[in-house]
Amino acid sequence: MKAWLLSFCLLLTSCAAITQTTLLTFPAARLQLDSVTVPVQLANTPALRAQGLMFQQQAQPGMLLLYTEPQAISLWMRNTSMPLDVAFITADWTIHHIRQLQPFDETPVPSEIAIIAALEMPQGWFAAQNLGKGSTVRLLAAEAQP
């Protein structure tokens, strides 16, 4: 029994080490939200969206989780150490609503409706920029996938 438990613990430790050392690189993008232009990291593949801001030390320059078609999603903050705001963006590229996310909180935060994108920024960023429900979002430029 002890040998099995030790093996299981070593396996979990190995998986955590692999996850942290094989982090993916995100392409850059530029967004315009109403009159504000901002650079962001672009998570436009399932693997990039799954990694998100995990293990990063700061939320700058933010991250756009982009989907190929509108869908209902849920986000969580596993291995994410900074407080975030997330704007859920509809297929017509307007902000439907913004929710706060707390560090390391694994409680699912649902989009409530089908969305095309979610924009994660440092907590308070949207309010400081005077952006909220109904603000328009445009993807101005995006790098090719690394």
The model's pLDDT over 63-95, given as tens digits with 9 standing for 90+, comes to 999 999 999 999 999 999 999 999 999 999 999
C-alpha span between 13 and 62 (Å, rounded): 29
Residue with tokens 């440092």: 122
- Cβ neighbour number for residue 135 with a 10 Å cutoff: 19
Q: Hey, is 51 helix, strand or coil?
A: helix
- The percentage of the chain sitting over the pLDDT mark of 70, rounded to a whole number, equals 84
The model's pLDDT over 20-46, given as tens digits with 9 standing for 90+, comes to 558 889 999 999 999 999 999 999 999
- Give the start-end residues of each E strand in 93-133: 95-101, 109-110, 115-122
List the one residue out of 134, 82, 80, 73 whose CA is nearest residue 109. Answer: 73
Q: How far is CA 88 from CA 17, 22, 93, 141, in A?
A: 32, 28, 9, 20
